Amino acid sequence: MTSHDMTADDAHHHGPSKKGILRWVTTTNHKDIGTMYLVFSFIMFFVGGSMAMVIRAELFQPGMQIVPAETFNMLTTMHGLIMVFGFIMPVFVGLANWMIPLMIGAPDMALPRMNNWSFWILPVAGTILISTMFMQGGGPNFGWTFYAPLSTTFAPKSTDYFIFAIHLLGMSSIMGSINVIVTIFNMRAPKMRLIDMPIFVWTWLITAFLIIAVMPVLAGTVTMMLMDRNFGTSFFNAAGGGDPVLFQHLFWFFGHPEVYIIILPAFGIVSEIIPTFARKKLFGRMSMIYALTAIAFLSFIVWAHHMFMTGLPLAASMFFMYATMLIAVPTGVKVFNWVATIYRGCLTFETPMLFSLAFVVLFTIGGFTGLMLSLIPSDVQYHDTYFVVGHFHYVLVPGSLFSVFAAIYYWLPKWTGHMYNETLAKFHFWISVISVNLTFFPMHFLGLAGMPRRIPDYALQFTDFNQIVSIGAFIFGAAQLIFVYIVIQAMRGKGPKATAHVWEGSHGLEWTVPSPAPYHTFSEPPTQIERH
């Protein structure tokens, strides 16, 4: 099946063209909305990242230097919340908006007006969340997991606004997920079975079901917090017959599937990119889909591995330990699939492939440290130390973030019609991959030596590693400005024109029928790509 080139006429499939800011506010085009999601999420990425820079500057040496302890706690809280809810989740929704209709041959997302609404809720929620930092009494200062009673009995007044922001962010995620599911089930190209869909679409289908299942649990939890704070209930207040540990159960019942919500789309991206640059089909495609489904199921029954220190009954502790170890099996299957795809492939190492290979290696390190934390005797030692911080940042930074870089470099020629600067992009990759290991690997040693997390000061013996971590973090933060420059240059059409087959290979970029162009159609639009 060949597809026609995008023309300016395609824009009118969605009604008359609008100019300026009004077009962006009212657009129902999936490419426009995908672009807005990506722009918003990277703004939040730099806001959250700047907080991390302040945190690392404070921890560069012992003693209190830059911010008071309360502000430090607020920064660690807001950094986590902004990165999870303001960056990683929206950036993957942006990629889903752009790519899913193209990959399944749909003209647009199934519910375009809801798509617009689900995006515009985000800047409002993000603004409310950040504004809490400037309210009387300070912003949320109880960690991104906002455990009760710290977030109920002892929290500042601004916590009510924080709760409202979380509700809005959850609404946005649920609407985006409904859209993805309806689009995939109802708008696939004729004769495209579910099993024929690209792996990226599969990962997003599974992710969307996870979001719909767990976001209401988070909404219920923060509503109970609101009631405890303002209406005299005692859900989490032991003095009134409640249970603070109940909060942890509810939060992690949401929180653990959430971890997979923010890594499953990354698996899909890497499963698209590695076969392209290995010039081979993905090894074990069916086993990959089964593994993804198994991970989604198991993610619901492992939540209490975050709670081994709360005095769970022995039987419960043992169940959660074994279930957590079991989730390593389908995760390992996927790593073997990627390695087997690479094996004896005709490899080239363009930037998307470099980020994908770094993802496979570094995400696997994050997985191994997670396996260490799943064991009760060792978790007792590692719990609430910097070992845990090192572990989950290895999953989220070289995991989720590197996959986002890989995806943007991979699809940017498709989006803009122009190639990016490959030399600069490789420079961005090497600085990022070196500095990310400089930042997060020493954290494991700090944790094993006993340095607790979420503290603004520390004992003298932790100074050397903390200085290495801080220097790595500053380099990593600065390197992301190169990325922004590369993307803007490609968007302005500074690079060479992209060809119909952007990445040559047996797999290439596969598309079915095209969706209409956004209103701001390029003067010489990128050609749609013939399906091999």
Q: What is the pLDDT of residues 63-87, one digit of tens each?
A: 989 999 999 999 999 999 999 999 9
pLDDT for 504: 65
Give me the amino acid identity at 324.
T
pLDDT for 54: 97
Catalytic residue among 132, 299, 331, 416: 331
| Helices vs. strands in the chain: H and E counts, helices first | 17, 0
Tell me the residue ranges of DSSP E strands in 35-185.
Answer: none
Decide if 136 contacts 157 (C-beta within 8 A).
yes
Which alpha helices (DSSP H) does 59-111 contain, by range? 69-81, 89-104
Catalytic residue among 56, 167, 280, 305: 305
pLDDT for 500: 79
pLDDT for 495: 85
Token pair belonging to 275: 């076969």
How far is Cα 98 from Cα 108, in angstroms, rounded to an integer? 9
| 393 annotated active-site | no
How far is Cα 231 from Cα 242, in angstroms, rounded to an integer? 14
Output phi, psi for 262, to 5 deg: -95, 10
How far is Cα 485 from Cα 493, in angstroms, rounded to an integer? 13
Decide if 246 contacts 235 (C-beta within 8 A).
yes
Angle, helices 264-278 vs 89-104, to 10°: value is: 50
| 172 annotated active-site | yes
Q: How far apart are the first and last CA of the chain?
A: 8
Specify the DSSP class assigned to residue 497. Answer: B
pLDDT for 278: 94
Tell me which residue of 303, 251, 270 sits closest to 92, measured CA to CA: 270
pLDDT digits (tens), the chain, 532 positions: 333 344 333 444 444 556 788 989 999 999 999 999 999 999 999 999 999 999 999 999 999 899 999 999 999 999 999 999 999 999 999 999 999 999 999 999 999 999 999 999 999 999 999 999 999 989 999 999 999 999 999 999 999 999 999 999 999 999 999 999 999 999 999 999 999 999 999 999 999 999 999 999 999 999 999 999 999 999 999 999 999 999 999 999 999 999 999 999 999 999 999 999 999 999 999 999 999 999 999 999 999 999 999 999 999 999 999 999 999 999 999 999 999 999 999 999 999 999 999 999 999 999 999 999 999 999 999 999 999 999 999 999 999 999 999 999 999 999 999 999 999 999 999 999 999 999 999 999 999 999 999 999 999 999 999 999 999 999 999 999 999 999 999 999 888 898 877 886 444 444 444 455 554 433 444 444 433 3
Catalytic residue among 14, 280, 334, 414: 334
In the three-class reduction of DSSP (H, G, I as helix; E, B as strand; rest coil), residue 452 is classed as: strand
State if pTM tops 0.85. Answer: yes
How far is Cα 437 from Cα 422, in angstroms, rounded to an integer? 23
| 305 annotated active-site | yes
pLDDT for 21: 87
How far is Cα 223 from Cα 218, in angstroms, rounded to an integer? 8
How far is Cα 92 from Cα 396, in angstroms, rounded to an integer? 13
Count Cα atoms within 13 angstroms, Cβ side, for 454. 17
| 501 annotated active-site | no
Domains, the chain, ranges and CATH? 33-512 (1.20.210.10)
Q: What torsion do the CA atoms of 447, 451, 453, 456 make, to the nearest 10 degrees?
A: -150
How far is Cα 454 from Cα 530, in angstroms, rounded to an integer? 52
Decide if 277 contacts 349 (C-beta within 8 A).
yes
Catalytic residue among 14, 167, 306, 444: 306
Count Cα atoms within 13 angstroms, Cβ side, for 150. 15
Query: Which residues, including other chains, have CB under 8 Å from residue 459's CB and lie 6 or more apart?
Result: 62, 451
| 260 annotated active-site | yes
Decide if 477 contacts 411 (C-beta within 8 A).
no
Give me the amino acid identity at 292.
L
Cβ neighbours, 10 Å, residue 239: 8
Give me the amino acid identity at 85.
F
Burial class (CB in 10 A: 0-12, 13-18, 19+), 459: exposed
| 453 annotated active-site | yes
pLDDT for 516: 53
Instruction: Tell me if the bond preceding 149 is cis, omega within 30° of 0.
Output: yes
Catalytic residue among 279, 383, 453, 520: 453
Query: Which residues, including other chains, have CB under 8 Å from residue 444's CB and lie 6 or more apart?
Result: 369, 386, 387, 390, 391
pLDDT for 267: 97
pLDDT for 519: 43
In the three-class reduction of DSSP (H, G, I as helix; E, B as strand; rest coil), residue 418 is classed as: strand
Residue 374's alpha-carbon distances to 103, 256, 359, 498, in angstroms, are: 37, 13, 22, 46
Catalytic residue among 27, 152, 173, 432: 173
Give me the amino acid identity at 352.
P
Residue 441's alpha-carbon distances to 72, 391, 523, in angstroms, are: 22, 9, 47
Count Cα atoms within 13 angstroms, Cβ side, for 163. 21
How far is Cα 531 from Cα 1, in angstroms, rounded to an integer? 6
Tell me the residue ranges of DSSP E strands in 68-137.
Answer: none
In the three-class reduction of DSSP (H, G, I as helix; E, B as strand; rest coil), residue 331 is classed as: helix
Catalytic residue among 27, 35, 159, 172: 172
| 71 annotated active-site | no
Tell me which residue of 413, 427, 429 sits closest to 503, measured CA to CA: 413
| 504 annotated active-site | no
Catalytic residue among 30, 31, 167, 256: 256
| 79 annotated active-site | yes
| 331 annotated active-site | yes
Decide if 103 contacts 196 (C-beta within 8 A).
no
